[in-house]
Amino acid sequence: MVEAAVFARDEAQAELETLKNDRVGAEPPHVTARALEELDTLRGEVERLSAALDAAPAPGKVDSIGEAFDVVRASLSSSSVAPKGSNKKTLSLSLALVALVAIHVRDPGWGVWNVIRVVGSLILGSGLALKGYKSGSLDLSGALSAAAVGWGTLYAGVRFGVTLGVFFFASSAMTKVGADVKRKIDEHFVEGKEGGGRDWIQVAANGAVPTLLAMSYSFATGGPEYVLGYANAFETPLACAFIAYYGTCCGDTWGSELGVLSKKLPRLIINPGKKVQPGTNGGVTSLGLIASGLGGLAVGFAFYVSGLLVPLVTGNLSSAMQFLAQWPTLALGFLSGVFGSLLDSLLGATIQFSGYCSERKKMVSKPGPTVTKVSGLNFLSNSAVNFVTATAMALAVYYGVIFAGVPF
């Protein structure tokens, strides 16, 4: 078993380091032949177990991103109810998009259209949260927080609302993929509730900052959505930071959920020569990194494509070509997914605890009597790491756009 090999390797490594430390400062005459023999034996055991790990397959089942998305398609198809139910879901999403566009057909000002936008975004945001609650993606506190996030983001504009919707539905779908693999390695796995019910802390970590960014954009423009660029130099950094934040979050989710399906063991980002068990914070695979980039790209794509609706919403068709030229948002989303994932892994490997529980036979995120530490300090939780990572990426993009220029 890979898990047993990882545990044995780390136990032997820890014992070896302890013996080394015990001998530090000792004069050569006091270093007995028995002590040297113990060190050599343990060193050989560590090397043997490491070599075994190099040859061992991970519990995953895919070799490439293409195979991973085949698994995604199969999983989503099997989890779908009847075609009638699938058609109903498609109809619901289509009606929600039409409603989102409808509440933005006029600049709100402070009159009746502002009331329509406020009430409409509240209804749509609450509906999104209710759907997440019914599907098990959100618990009650998470649903209430999601309603607030949805309200503020959907009020801000079509591009912001569509991007939020794509992030929510795509990420929720990814958490349900590969249940047969995740039940073996995920400490939070609950049968029938793959991905778990996200609470208000997790929702806030993913949604609070981008909601503030979206609403700040809306208040800065007075309601309309503008083309990103030098002509709108104050609002553009806010929109770019919004893309970067959700690009990072979506990239992290896709990378985590699809990366564990890899047949190759992850490597610890701060020590690439060390293979670790899937589920270790800071462990990276090429599959996970590619998935992170695609997750970020999905966010950039959602913002870009929904931007093509803005000229239709506003009736200003002369701006259509300008919105069509906003393709750098695709690159921004992709890069946010990749670099956000790397930063998240770096923080996870250093200030987030990972240990192997010999009782549960899984990697866990909290110390305990049956847990052997693998990496990281017990300083930040997973939600806190996600929040810090995404906020850092959003700030970097915000100030990068201001000081380095607008790439539009």
Is 39 part of a structural domain of the chain? no
Alpha carbon dihedral 94, 99, 105, 107, in 10-degree steps, equals -130
Distance CA(294)–CA(291), nearest Å, equals 5
Is 266 part of a structural domain of the chain? yes
Higher local confidence (pLDDT), 294 or 23 = 294
Mean pLDDT of 370-394: 95
Is 280 part of a structural domain of the chain? yes
- What confidence tens digit (pLDDT) does each residue in 104-159 have? 776 655 567 788 889 999 999 999 999 889 888 899 999 999 999 999 999 999 99
Q: Which of 281, 284, 285 is nearest to 352 (CA)?
A: 281
Q: Are 164 and 303 in contact (CB under 8 A)?
A: no
> How much is the pLDDT for 328?
93
Q: Does the pLDDT of residue 54 top 80, yes or no?
A: no
Q: Does the pLDDT of residue 388 top 80, yes or no?
A: yes
Average pLDDT of the residues of the chain: 83
Distance CA(100)–CA(123), nearest Å, equals 10
Is 218 part of a structural domain of the chain? yes
355 SS3 class: strand
Q: Does the pLDDT of residue 68 top 80, yes or no?
A: no
Q: Are 332 and 243 in contact (CB under 8 A)?
A: yes
Q: Which of 313, 302, 373, 251 is nearest to 101 (CA)?
A: 313
What residue has token string 């607030």? 148
DSSP 311: H
Distance CA(55)–CA(301), nearest Å, equals 39
Distance CA(305)–CA(299), nearest Å, equals 10
Distance CA(86)–CA(44), nearest Å, equals 57
Mean pLDDT of 320-329: 89
Q: Predicted confidence band at 5 (pLDDT cuts at 50, 70, 90)? A: low
> How much is the pLDDT for 241?
98
Beta bridge partners of 267: 275, 284
Q: Does the pLDDT of residue 23 top 80, yes or no?
A: no
Is 53 part of a structural domain of the chain? no
Please give the C-alpha separations between residue 381 and each of 76, 143, 251, 348, 376, in angstroms, as whole numbers. Answer: 30, 21, 18, 9, 11
Is 94 part of a structural domain of the chain? yes
Quick one: how many helices (H) and strands (E) in the chain? 15, 6
Strands 354-357 and 283-284: unpaired
380 SS3 class: coil
Q: Which residues contact 92 (CB under 8 A, 6 or more apart)?
A: none
> How much is the pLDDT for 16?
55
Q: Predicted confidence band at 377 (pLDDT cuts at 50, 70, 90)? A: very high
What is the span of the domain harbouring residue 250?
87-404
> How much is the pLDDT for 121?
94
Could you tell me the two tokens for 371? 């847990």
Q: Does the pLDDT of residue 56 top 80, yes or no?
A: no
Is 51 part of a structural domain of the chain? no
Q: Predicted confidence band at 391 (pLDDT cuts at 50, 70, 90)? A: very high
Distance CA(214)–CA(67), nearest Å, equals 36
> How much is the pLDDT for 193?
58
> How much is the pLDDT for 406?
66
Beta bridge partners of 271: 268
Structural domains counted in the chain: 1
DSSP 223: S
- What confidence tens digit (pLDDT) does each residue in 199-255 have? 999 999 999 999 999 999 999 988 888 889 876 788 999 999 999 999 999 999 999
Q: Predicted confidence band at 408 (pLDDT cuts at 50, 70, 90)? A: low
DSSP 352: S
Which ranges of 186-314 would DSSP assign to H, the alpha helix?
A: 200-221, 235-259, 286-307, 310-314
Higher local confidence (pLDDT), 293 or 29 = 293
- What confidence tens digit (pLDDT) does each residue in 86-97 have? 667 777 778 888
- What confidence tens digit (pLDDT) does each residue in 147-204 have? 999 999 999 999 999 999 999 989 888 888 877 777 778 777 665 555 557 899 999 9
- What confidence tens digit (pLDDT) does each residue in 260-308 have? 888 889 999 999 998 998 889 999 999 999 999 999 999 999 999 999 9
Is 48 part of a structural domain of the chain? no
> How much is the pLDDT for 50?
56
